Every structure is written in structure tokens, then in C-alpha cells.
Amino acid sequence: MSTSLRTEAGPYFGDFGGRFVPESLIAALDELTNEYGLARQDPAFAAELMELHRTYTGRPSLITEVPRFAAHAGGARIILKREDLNHTGSHKINNVLGQALLTKRIGKSRVIAETGAGQHGVAAATAAALFGLDCVVYMGEVDTERQALNVARMRLLGAEVVAVKTGSRTLKDAINDAMRDWVTNVETTNYIFGTVAGPHPFPAMVRDFQKIIGEEARQQVLDLTGSLPDAVTACVGGGSNAMGIFHAFLDDPDVALFGYEAGGDGAETLRHAATITKGRPGVLHGARSLLLQDEDGQTVESHSISAGLDYPGVGPEHAWLASIGRVTYLPVTDDEAMSALRLLSRTEGIIPAIESAHALAGTLELGKQLGPEATILVNLSGRGDKDMETAGRYFDLLDSGAEQS
Amino acid sequence: MSARTGHGMAPGMTSMVEATIARRRSEGGGALIGYLPVGFPTLSESIDAAVAIANSGVDILELGLPYTDPVMDGPVIQAATQQALANGFRLRHGIEAVAAITAQVNVPVLVMTYWNPILQYGVDRFADDLLAVGGAGLITPDLIPDDSAAWVAASTRTGLDRVFLAAPSSSDDRLRQAVDASRGFVYAVSTMGITGARGDVDSAARVLVDRLRAAGSTSACVGLGISTPEQVREILAYADGAIVGSALVKALSDGGVSAVAALARDLAAGARDIRPTS
């Protein structure tokens, strides 16, 4: 490879990206772009963030080799990057601490966030508590019901949770309402966006805050095995954990990269969230990317058992990496993900988030294709505590007495 | 009066929107611009309502195309456009509505639309179809001049108006860019926020219009939060046009076509004879 794929800084990644937002937001996006540019050059900013990661997030996160799980994947060597062990239970904290520090630097006192599964909302509420910022989290009403535990966590942390009742009442509508709030309150408010989507500078900035995952893991795998992995895998909703682990490997041509999208009932059905597999180019939430839409460009509702992947769009850098063939994106159904969730729980004593279980399910198939000589690094982006109600219902683990109490 | 035209306009093409605004200004008032969404409460009633407000003193129609993710819209317009989508709104209905309205009234008809529907319909195809039914141009709330090359080319080719937004937070450079890129008028966002009636229209609107004038605008219209004849009068004391949306949608929702026409008449009274003609 003659040119680096790691230097893309936006606003465009190939044909994807940009700033398709109301003019009212441009000043705030410009301010964020400039302040982030300055912060990137400032060693004190990086030092403060690294210190927080060391003493608060729990970084570097471990890698764990999982041979009993790998026995079901054709014998390939499988190594998990344990973002589930971070404070607040997922990779989301990496980005949120960076953006909260930036909020402090800009001098704003209020933050807003959107959330699907609630993991980004919990992380944002956590950072707001830590930095003494007011925090409002927008969450689709459907998601507040299926992720009630995370709603309680956010409220306990002092955040206000707004249940969004418009549209499909899920993540995409939560983003709409967060943007409306931002347009109205932009003077006092910073929008802590949770994924590598949205208008510039969010895709590049969120990626930069998440790329620590891959940078750590690349060295950890080298130290453990003496060589780079043959493949790196991650689940893809908006795509922040995947960009986070892929980025360090983009210029390693011998490392294959696989993103697993939520296939819901099956990518061939109408009920899925497989945006790259099935979507077309278009504009949603401020960026040109791939999205699930009808002939008229109306956004189509996505479906996934995993609230965190239930999004009809995807970050523009992923759309670009798909278009140039650097990353392969494949759908994984609800059933395949849930089966992998149970398998990891029973073979390794690690209960993954349903989101991350999509990456595990894809890896089981990939391992069989690559064979026993292969090493696969999987981003275990979050832990499954929040999903116990869904898993309990899915596997019929809750006895009726327990449900009634 | 020669209204400012954007870059690259074919010579000799006059914007009917600019001409209408200039005429109202020369008569000592300003233009009243009325927004209604296509397909609400039904396609045929939305056409009747648009014709009725045009016949009741609205100078320029702004027809909204319902979209699933309208980030600039407040609750009233969100509810109306969501209902239109649930009723089966299709983009071709937007073209049909413009055709039906321009067949009945002479006021210019601008289409207000988020960008993705136009992108999927085809920017050139939409421009051609809109021109063919007598539409005047597009207002694009989530398309900034920076990312608008395809639309600038299509509108220049067809002579359609392109209305970009200007916000109180916009830098002087960006205001100049909006003025230069726009044709028809520049949409001055009265306040930082989304659509919906407000008790007070921000004093920020007056400052913004002054800044747009300094940037060369001869056609600056103010929108967001305007719902009463008094507010229209207040705004037209300094701006070239006043844009009313949510209040009309609410009137249509609450009282049907006759109610929205009555509100338009009241608002139009606020738009006339404000300043002595010069």
C-alpha cells in the first residue's frame, strides 16, 4: 500500500461525510473543529485524557485469549480485546471522556447526548457527573423500555433522560431531538455525539478518541503472539468500536478487517439493520453515507435485537472503507448473535453485550474459513449486564415467579 | 429595482420570488411567505389550503415536503408531516401539488425540503420536474452552500431559486456566502432554534437582517417563531419578508381550510402599509 489510510481527517472520506446540517449549527461545528484541532496539538490535553484513562477508565484494557470458545471456531486462535472491562461497561467511555474534556476547554456548562442501548448515555452521564456538567440524554421511547436499567443508571448519575416519542421512537429519533436541542441551546451546550457518524468533525474526532482500542490491542497481540493477527473483527452499528479497533490496522495489508452488522431476522428480510450490506448512499444526520431508505429517500426503520446496533445509518468512514474494499462488512442475525452470546458465557465465563455478540458470531464463521493456523482479534466492545432482561426472555431463563415479583 | 442574483445566473432570467418581494417593498410593506406541508391533512386538502392562503394575501408559498427526520422542525410541523407520511406521502405528490397550485393561483411556489429526498429523486430530475410544473425553487434547511455544488449547478441551469439559510451565529464570511449563493431571498433564521410559534421574536433577527444587508442582500426574509399580524408588522419594518409556518399548520389542523385562510388574511393585513412609500 503506497498511501496511508490512517490519515483521513474529514470532512470527507472519499465520497462520504460532509456537513448536511442547518446553518445554525455551523458555528458550533466550526468551534468544535477548531478547538479539537488545538487540543490535538496540546500535550497537556493528551496527558490529561491518558491520566483519566489510567485512573478512571481502567486502560489499557486487557486482551484475553479464549481457547474453549475458539474450539467452536475451527480451532483458530481467538483473542478478545476487553472493552467490556472499562468503567461503565463498554468502549463508549473512551470517546465521552475526550469530548467532556473538550467541553470543559470550550467553556460550556451543559452537555447533551443521544443513546440507543443506553451505553453512550450512561458514559455521558458519568462524564458529566465527573466534570460537574449538566447533562440531558435523548433516548427513543422504545429503547427506554427495553433498556430500563440504563435509564435508571443515567438518572442516578444525575442526568435528565428524555424519552423521545417521535418517528420510530428509537436511536435515529433521539439524534433528531438532540440536534434540535443543540440548535436551540448551542451557546451553552456541547453535543457529545456517541459514534463515528454525524456531521464533521464528529466522525474523525470520535474515531480519534476510540482508536486507542486498536493501538493498544495491536501491541498486545504482537507481545502475546509475536505477530499481527490475521483478522480483526468488530460489530458495526454507527461504527465507533469498529473504527476504534480497525484504525491501527488500516495500513497493515496482511490483516483482514471484518465488520459485522445487525442482520435482525435476516438481511434478506425487511427487518434488519444491515446498513452497509443493504443500504444505498444518501444523507442522514448530517453526513453523506450509506443508509436504509426507501425510493423517496425516507429513512426506513431498522430492526435488531440489539438496541445499540438498531440504527439505519453508519459512519461515513465505514462507507468509504467498504467502497475501497479495505473492510468486509457482513450481516449477522439476531439468532446467530444470541447463540454466540450464550457460547462465550458458557465456555469462557464472559457475558458479552448483545452488540459485541454479533462480532463473536461472525468470528465463529470466519475462524472456520481461516482454519486453525489463524489468529483473530475480536473487539469485545461491551458487557452484557444491561441485556439480561432481553437474554432472559430470549432463552426463557426467567421463571414466572421471578418475573412476577 | 434590481434584486441581487447569485453567481452564474443566466442573464435575463428574473426570479419571480425576488420580483414579488421587491413589489411589496415598493408598495410600503413587505412579502408574507406562508408555509404548509404537502399531504397534510390529506393531499387534496393541502392543495386547497395552499390555494386558499394564496387567495387570502400570502405573497409567496413555501410548500414543505414531509421527511422522516426533520431536524429543523418543531412539534407542530413534525406532527403534521409525520401524519402526511403515515398517509402515504410520496415525492411525486409534491410535484403534483405544485402543479395543482400553480394552475389555480399566480403566487410563486417554493418547495422546502430536506436534502436526502432530492438526492434520491435525482437533483437534476427534481429541478426539471419542478420547473415543468411552474415551481419557483427550493428552500434547503439542511444544505449549506459549502456542500451544494450539484444543486447550484441544477438551479443555475434551470433558473430555479435557491434559498439558503442564515443564522444569528453565522460569521460575516458565511453570511456573504449565503447572500451570494442564494437567489429569491436569504432565509434569516430569527432565533437560534427550530420552527414553532414564539411569544417574542428575537431581537437577534433585526441584527441579522442588518448584517445581511451589509453583506449585500436586497432580499432578506425572516422566519421561525412568527405567528401574529403584529409580529409580521414588526419584522417587515426592517426585513423584506416574513415567513409564517407553524401557526398556519396549527390553524389548518384545528379549523381546516377556512381557518387557515382567515389567519392568512389577518397576517397579510400586518404586511401592508408599514412604511411610507418612497
B62 is catalytic: yes
A92 is catalytic: yes
Does pLDDT of B3 surpass 80?
Answer: no
User: Could you tell me the three cell numbers for B150?
Assistant: 450539484
User: Could you tell me the three cell numbers for A107?
Assistant: 467553556
What pLDDT shows up at residue B33?
98
Does pLDDT of A392 surpass 50?
Answer: yes
Digit-coded pLDDT (tens) for A286-300 = 999 999 999 999 999
Domains A12-54+92-206 and A61-89+211-394 share a fold: yes
Does pLDDT of A405 surpass 50?
Answer: no
**pLDDT classification of B272: cutoffs 50, 70, 90:** confident
**pLDDT classification of B182: cutoffs 50, 70, 90:** very high
Do B74 and A180 count as a contact with CB atoms less than 8 A apart?
A: yes
Three-class SS of residue B244?
A: strand
User: Could you tell me the three cell numbers for A204?
Assistant: 474523525
What pLDDT shows up at residue A399?
74
Report yes or no on whether pTM surpasses 0.90. yes
Output the 3-class SS for chain A: CCCCCCCCCCCEECCEEEEECCHHHHHHHHHHHHHHHHHHHCHHHHHHHHHHHHHHHCCCCCEEECHHHHCCCCCCEEEEEEHHHCHHHECHHHHHHHHHHHHHHHCCCEEEEEECCCHHHHHHHHHHHHHCCEEEEEEEHHHHHHCHHHHHHHHHCCCEEEEECCCCCCHHHHHHHHHHHHHHHCCCEEECCCCCCCCCCHHHHHHHHHCHHHHHHHHHHHHHHCCCCCEEEEEECCCHHHHHHHHHHCCCCCCEEEEEEEEECCCCCCCCECHHHHCEEEEECEEEEEECECCCCCECCCCCCCHHHCCCECCHHHHHHHHCCCEEEEEEEHHHHHHHHHHHHHHHCCCECHHHHHHHHHHHHHHHHHCCCCEEEEEECEECHHHHHHHHHHCCCCCHHHHHC
What pLDDT shows up at residue B6?
40
Measured between beta carbons, the chain A residues lying within 8 angstroms of B78 are 166
Q: Is B71 on the interface with A (CB under 8 A)?
A: yes
Do B121 and A179 count as a contact with CB atoms less than 8 A apart?
A: no
Measured between beta carbons, the chain B residues lying within 8 angstroms of A178 are none
Higher confidence at residue B199 or residue A290? A290
Do A24 and B189 count as a contact with CB atoms less than 8 A apart?
A: yes
Does pLDDT of B8 surpass 70?
Answer: no
What pLDDT shows up at residue A145?
87
Higher confidence at residue A260 or residue A117? A260
d(CA A279, CA A294): 10
Does pLDDT of A16 surpass 50?
Answer: yes
* Domains in chain B with CATH codes: 16-270 (3.20.20.70)
Measured between beta carbons, the chain A residues lying within 8 angstroms of B141 are 22
**A287 touches A203 (CB < 8 A):** yes
**A336 touches A310 (CB < 8 A):** no
User: Could you tell me the three cell numbers for A185?
Assistant: 441551546
Does pLDDT of A402 surpass 90?
Answer: no
Number of CB pairs < 8 Å for A and B?
109
d(CA A51, CA B199): 48
**pLDDT classification of B190: cutoffs 50, 70, 90:** confident
Number of neighbouring beta carbons within 10 Å of residue B7: 9
Chain A 253-312, CB below 8 Å of chain B: which residues? 280, 282-286, 293, 295-299
Higher confidence at residue A265 or residue B196? A265
What pLDDT shows up at residue A2?
57
What pLDDT shows up at residue A167?
85
Which site among A20, A21, A34, A299 would you substitute to test the B interface, given the most B Cβ atoms closer than 10 Å to its Cβ?
Answer: A20
- Give percent of chain A with pLDDT exceeding 90: 92
Do A293 and B120 count as a contact with CB atoms less than 8 A apart?
A: yes
Q: Is A20 on the interface with B (CB under 8 A)?
A: yes
Q: Which residues contact A272 (CB under 8 A, 6 or more apart)?
A: A261, A262, A263, A264, A265, A266, A278, A302, A303, A304, A331
Q: Is B224 on the interface with A (CB under 8 A)?
A: no
Measured between beta carbons, the chain A residues lying within 8 angstroms of B115 are 20, 283
Q: What is the mean pLDDT of chain A?
A: 95
Chain B 123-142, CB below 8 Å of chain A: which residues? 141-142
Of the candidates B195, B154, B175, B205, the one whose C-alpha atom is nearest the C-alpha of residue B64 is: B195
Lowest mean pLDDT among A115-129, A195-209, B2-16: B2-16
- Give percent of chain A with pLDDT exceeding 70: 98
Does pLDDT of B12 surpass 50?
Answer: no
Which one is catalytic: B48, B62, B234, B240? Answer: B62
What pLDDT shows up at residue B254?
98
Q: Which residues contact B146 (CB under 8 A, 6 or more apart)?
A: A19, B177
Does pLDDT of A319 surpass 60?
Answer: yes
What pLDDT shows up at residue A197?
98
Q: Is B74 on the interface with A (CB under 8 A)?
A: yes
Q: Across the interface, which of B68, B91, B167 has its CB nearest the CB of A23?
A: B167
State the CATH architecture for A61-89+211-394.
3-Layer(aba) Sandwich (3.40)
**B242 touches B229 (CB < 8 A):** no
Does pLDDT of B142 surpass 70?
Answer: yes
Q: Is B121 on the interface with A (CB under 8 A)?
A: yes
Do B193 and A23 count as a contact with CB atoms less than 8 A apart?
A: no
CA distance to partner chain A, nearest, from residue B84 (Å): 12
DSSP category for residue B98 = H
Do A293 and B85 count as a contact with CB atoms less than 8 A apart?
A: no
Of the candidates B188, B210, B212, the one whose C-alpha atom is nearest the C-alpha of residue B201 is: B188
Q: Is B19 on the interface with A (CB under 8 A)?
A: no
Number of neighbouring beta carbons within 10 Å of residue A280: 13
Q: Across the interface, which of B71, B115, B116 has its CB nearest the CB of A176?
A: B71
Which site among A15, A24, A164 would you substitute to test the B interface, given the most B Cβ atoms closer than 10 Å to its Cβ?
Answer: A24
Q: Is A108 on the interface with B (CB under 8 A)?
A: no
Interior CA angle at A177 toward A390 and A181, to 5°?
135
What pLDDT shows up at residue A238?
96
Tell me whether 0.85 is exceeded by the ipTM: yes
Does pLDDT of B46 surpass 50?
Answer: yes
Mean pLDDT of A56-74: 98
Mean pLDDT of A245-274: 97
**Is the CATH number of domain A12-54+92-206 3.20.20.70?**
no
Interior CA angle at A303 toward A80 and B41, to 5°?
150
Question: Which sequence spans correspond to the domains of chain A?
Answer: 12-54+92-206, 61-89+211-394
Interior CA angle at A212 toward A206 and A217, to 5°?
135
